[in-house]
Structure 1
Amino acid sequence: MSRNQLKSKTGQGRYESKARRVLVPEFRFQSIKFLSTYHDANPNSVPDYVFSGGEDGYFPNFPILIQGDGAPWEIGNLYLTTKLRSESGYESRTYRGIADHLLDYLRFLEDERLGYLNFPKNDRLKVTFRYKQRLVEQVTGGDLSASTAKARINAVVNFYRGVMLWNLIDRSQIQNAPFEDVERYINVTSEYGIQNAMKIKSHSLTIPTPKKQRQSEYINDSGDLRPLTVVEQESVLKALQASSREYQLMFYFALFTGARVQTVGTLRIKHLHGKLDGGGYLRLPIGHGTQIDTKRGKPMTLLVPAWLVQDMLIYSRSPEATKRRERSFYDDTEDNYVFLSKNGIPYYTSKKEIYDRRDANVSRHAGMTDKARNVSIQDGAALRQHIRDILLLRIHPANPDFQDFTFHDLRATFGMNLLESQLHCMGDQHITAALEYVRQRMGHADTKTTMQYLQYKSRLKWKNSIQHEFESQLFEYVNTSANMGELE
């Protein structure tokens, strides 16, 4: 990503403000003492806090907002830290996202020279309504997606709700409400086809977003996924032959098990030592309680082919893999990740590691206290970069029309491969049984998600037949340079 693209993504290029977001590698909470006399000395300021005596471990890569003048944005940071204290569970990526939305708001405030408590009676003059209008203008001008604008205004609304809920300022400072709460109703359909109206809490700053049109080339399975054709899979696998062994194995694992990136990245060596079942698969439990991460911790079982288990075990015993573990957080132990970078950093940081790092006194991991100081939370970016900067560059010279793909597309590819093989073995008369098998293997809670794979297969077959009909019957009546003898 270029510098200009990065500025556009973070909103920096749209504002003159120099406000920024920084990450604190080891953010630690300490006992907090509120100075009750702060109102007397600073009636228009946020509360003052004194930190002393550690008690809660630390939160890696916690975001802090810095104003354009270099001073911390007190109310913004107070909101983030109070939210952290008030809610269970911490994910750096989630808090970074919230902070980035608030950073955009801070830059708007500084550019317009407005205070965050500027709420006159006229709604149109309130700082929140003016920010909403700015977001709408950016969407209209094509500088911002509607979904991002909606996420940003919702983050600002949650910011004010938190400020008031947690009494982070004196209520008397808010003369007029920053927005109005609104109750809305949405129609939901149960798995049995029963429709109900559900009441949801909304607000008067809502930015409407058009309903996303479903594209026939994609399957909606936790995002729009594009299954790769067999020819495309061959191209990817050929390109992978020139990659290092850990990249090969990570891509194989996703393609042949349907695992998501957080699952591939958080596999531990000890997980590979289970017994194979009668079909030649390792039945690998993942999710909550297994130390292998899944989406929202959902428990399920992956079936890993014996050849892949064997190859990963061989790799884990290699001198290079051993060297990487010795540089890593968990050292050369069976508790360590199967896949680590040359610097000993995981490709996806597990929730377990974040918890372990918080407790610098965990004695069962030798050297953990020293290594806990060098934290770098990973979310699979290296895999995405490998596709963009290496694999696609290898594929395009021989296949210039090859479409871009994502690591997550390998999950949909596995689903299509599995469905094709089941229908081939069982026959079309056993579609229901084939779909149920695919549903279980992919961990779909809703059969509608699995049905999309069958519908995709039907659409693809229809699309190919129509394309053939166009080319064989209709195209002969189209005047082109090729059939008019006007080739240049």
Structure 2
Amino acid sequence: MDKFDNECKKENKIECKKIREYRSTEYDVERNEHIETGEYCSSYPIVLKSDGTVWDKASLYIDFLRSDRNRSSALLRTAGNDLLDFLRFMEANNLNMLHLPIKKAQRVTFRYRHDLLEREKEFKLNGHKKIGRNTISQRINRIVDFYEFCIENKIFTFTELDNRPYTLLKKRIYFEDEKGFTQKKVVRSSDLSIPRAPRAIQTSDSIKDGRKLHPLTEQEQSIFISYLKASNNRVLQLICLIALTTGARIQSICTLRVNDIKNMMISKKVKGSFKKIEIGGGESIDNKNDKKYIIFFHTELLEMLNNYINSEEWKERSTQSYYKNKNNYVFLTKFGEPFYTSRKELEDRKNRL
């Protein structure tokens, strides 16, 4: 087996495992047992080295993100994958975090930066898609934050650093606020920083909503509806019909509950043949940034949804799910999993309801 095969085999052993239903504990010396602290995380990443052991520094950093910065499970998974990529690079090149010789270009952090930029240019040998500019920018910033955490918490000290892994800088950036005025702010950066991809130019026919969105033309809507009619996937049909007729986000559609449909069915009509429901702001249906909003459902669409939640297909899916038949999600996969985990479910799981 040649060197390349050995490196591939070694890299495949380096992985990021996920602990489902993670609950933080503290060790009680007097009682000689672990006591739950009440802190909960639906999916907690653990980075494993090639020898199968846990990368302890990564675990300490991820737990810091969870406990001190109160980051979401999704962000923890992203951080785990960023650290996994850095670990794979180090082990593939027989380096460690303290490999910091005098020549800056030979330091582990700068070599990793160079490796990210090279991978942006070329496709990986294992067939994966090339890495994007925004991803490599995120990863190098993550590594700087990781080092900062290790230094601040004395996981390793300045005396162990032959040279600095990077130099911290302050940069002024200019941005356009919601009212269209140019604003300036000072941000922390480093000489490792990789600029993100430039934003696409805003065009007159697009909607600025966190990213550039284009409304479907009448012809595109017609083609899309024809496709939906031909589909035999009832869940896909209903999700798309809600999106087309209400303008709701996928986050809101997929956190819609059975009781939401039942309550709308018996509520009074508004605006002719429509019924309304509130989302976000602490309601059972999630919305971006938990912003309070009202969406309107046509009575015919409600009838379709009511028929679906009373169908054998929905009942079979619900029996495999977390909530069973108790105010479950309207939309579940064939394995009983939600397409989007709501804030309420995270709270219910934390409280073991």
The TM-score, its normalising length taken from structure 1, stands at 0.63
Q: Which residue of 2 aligns with 1:183?
A: 170
In the alignment, the residues of structure 1 paired with residue 224 and residue 202 of structure 2 have an alpha-carbon distance, to the nearest angstrom, of 23
Aligned-residue sequence identity (percent) comes to 30
Q: Which residue of 1 aligns with 2:93?
A: 112
Q: After the TM superposition, which of the residue ranges 153-162 and 302-311 deviates more from structure 2?
A: 302-311
In the alignment, the residues of structure 2 paired with residue 98 and residue 51 of structure 1 have an alpha-carbon distance, to the nearest angstrom, of 30
Tell me, yes or no, if structure 1 residue 203 matches structure 2 residue 190: yes
In the alignment, the residues of structure 2 paired with residue 179 and residue 51 of structure 1 have an alpha-carbon distance, to the nearest angstrom, of 42
Give, in angstroms, the shift of residue 258 of structure 1: 1.3
Amino acid at match of 2:15: R
In the alignment, the residues of structure 2 paired with residue 51 and residue 222 of structure 1 have an alpha-carbon distance, to the nearest angstrom, of 47
Q: Which residue of 2 aligns with 1:62?
A: 44
In the alignment, the residues of structure 2 paired with residue 89 and residue 151 of structure 1 have an alpha-carbon distance, to the nearest angstrom, of 16
Render the CA deviation track for 1:108-137: whole Å, top value 9, x for unaligned.
100111111222343222211111111122
Contact 1:28 1:59 in 2 (8 A): yes
* Partner secondary structure for residue 22 of structure 1: strand
Q: Which residue of 2 aligns with 1:5?
A: none
Unmatched 5+ stretches in structure 2? 1-6, 124-129
Q: Which residue of 2 aligns with 1:223?
A: 211
Structure with the greater alpha carbon radius of gyration: 1
Give, in angstroms, the shift of residue 245 of structure 1: 2.3
* Selected match of 1:330 from 323, 327, 331: 323
* Partner secondary structure for residue 175 of structure 2: strand
In the alignment, the residues of structure 2 paired with residue 126 and residue 311 of structure 1 have an alpha-carbon distance, to the nearest angstrom, of 61
Q: Which residue of 1 aligns with 2:287?
A: 294
Q: After the TM superposition, which of the residue ranges 283-292 and 231-240 deviates more from structure 2?
A: 231-240
- Structure in which a larger fraction of residues adopt helix: 1
* Selected match of 1:73 from 55, 65, 74: 55
Q: Which residue of 2 aligns with 1:439?
A: none
In the alignment, the residues of structure 1 paired with residue 44 and residue 33 of structure 2 have an alpha-carbon distance, to the nearest angstrom, of 17
Contact 2:24 2:36 in 1 (8 A): yes
In the alignment, the residues of structure 1 paired with residue 308 and residue 66 of structure 2 have an alpha-carbon distance, to the nearest angstrom, of 40
In the alignment, the residues of structure 1 paired with residue 9 and residue 287 of structure 2 have an alpha-carbon distance, to the nearest angstrom, of 37
Q: Which residue of 2 aligns with 1:305?
A: 298
Give, in angstroms, the shift of residue 301 of structure 1: 1.3
Distance 1:192 1:78, change over 3 A: closer
Unmatched 5+ stretches in structure 1? 1-11, 35-49, 363-488
Tell me, yes or no, if structure 1 residue 27 matches structure 2 residue 9: no
Contact 1:27 1:60 in 2 (8 A): yes
In the alignment, the residues of structure 1 paired with residue 249 and residue 271 of structure 2 have an alpha-carbon distance, to the nearest angstrom, of 25
Task: Please list, as runs of the form range in 1=range in 2, the aligned pairs for 1:405-424 lying within 5 A after superposition.
Answer: none
Distance 1:252 1:140, change over 3 A: same
Q: Which residue of 2 aligns with 1:235?
A: 223
Task: Please list, as runs of the form range in 1=range in 2, the aligned pairs for 1:424-439 lying within 5 A after superposition.
Answer: none
Q: Which residue of 2 aligns with 1:314?
A: 307
Q: Which residue of 1 aligns with 2:239?
A: 250
- Alpha-carbon RMSD across the aligned residues, in angstroms, is 2.7
Contact 2:286 2:343 in 1 (8 A): yes
Task: Please list, as runs of the form range in 1=range in 2, the aligned pairs for 1:123-202 lying within 5 A after superposition.
Answer: 123-141=104-122, 143-170=130-157, 172-202=159-189
Task: Please list, as runs of the form range in 1=range in 2, the aligned pairs for 1:376-391 lying within 5 A after superposition.
Answer: none
Q: Which residue of 1 aligns with 2:348?
A: 356
Amino acid at match of 1:266: T
Distance 1:136 1:79, change over 3 A: same
In the alignment, the residues of structure 1 paired with residue 218 and residue 211 of structure 2 have an alpha-carbon distance, to the nearest angstrom, of 22
Amino acid at match of 1:146: R
* Partner secondary structure for residue 72 of structure 1: coil
Task: Please list, as runs of the form range in 1=range in 2, the aligned pairs for 1:395-410 lying within 5 A after superposition.
Answer: none
Give, in angstroms, the shift of residue 144 of structure 1: 2.5
Render the CA deviation track for 1:274-312: whole Å, top value 9, x for unaligned.
322143322221113002112222221112222212221
* Selected match of 1:99 from 61, 80, 90: 80
In the alignment, the residues of structure 2 paired with residue 118 and residue 95 of structure 1 have an alpha-carbon distance, to the nearest angstrom, of 26
Distance 1:345 1:189, change over 3 A: closer
How many residue pairs were aligned? Answer: 333
In the alignment, the residues of structure 2 paired with residue 296 and residue 225 of structure 1 have an alpha-carbon distance, to the nearest angstrom, of 18
In the alignment, the residues of structure 1 paired with residue 12 and residue 33 of structure 2 have an alpha-carbon distance, to the nearest angstrom, of 30
Contact 2:318 2:328 in 1 (8 A): yes
Amino acid at match of 1:208: P
Contact 2:28 2:35 in 1 (8 A): no
* Selected match of 1:214 from 163, 185, 201: 201
- Structure in which a larger fraction of residues adopt strand: 2
In the alignment, the residues of structure 1 paired with residue 33 and residue 66 of structure 2 have an alpha-carbon distance, to the nearest angstrom, of 16
In the alignment, the residues of structure 1 paired with residue 212 and residue 181 of structure 2 have an alpha-carbon distance, to the nearest angstrom, of 26
Distance 1:232 1:72, change over 3 A: same
In the alignment, the residues of structure 2 paired with residue 120 and residue 132 of structure 1 have an alpha-carbon distance, to the nearest angstrom, of 16
Q: After the TM superposition, which of the residue ranges 93-102 and 316-325 deviates more from structure 2?
A: 316-325
Render the CA deviation track for 1:140-159: whole Å, top value 9, x for unaligned.
33642211111110111111
In the alignment, the residues of structure 2 paired with residue 219 and residue 28 of structure 1 have an alpha-carbon distance, to the nearest angstrom, of 41
* Partner secondary structure for residue 171 of structure 2: strand
Contact 1:17 1:110 in 2 (8 A): no
The TM-score, its normalising length taken from structure 2, stands at 0.85
Amino acid at match of 2:76: Y
Contact 1:325 1:331 in 2 (8 A): yes
In the alignment, the residues of structure 1 paired with residue 339 and residue 94 of structure 2 have an alpha-carbon distance, to the nearest angstrom, of 42
- With CA pairs under 8 Å and 6+ residues apart, which has the higher RCO, 1 or 2? 1
Contact 1:116 1:127 in 2 (8 A): yes
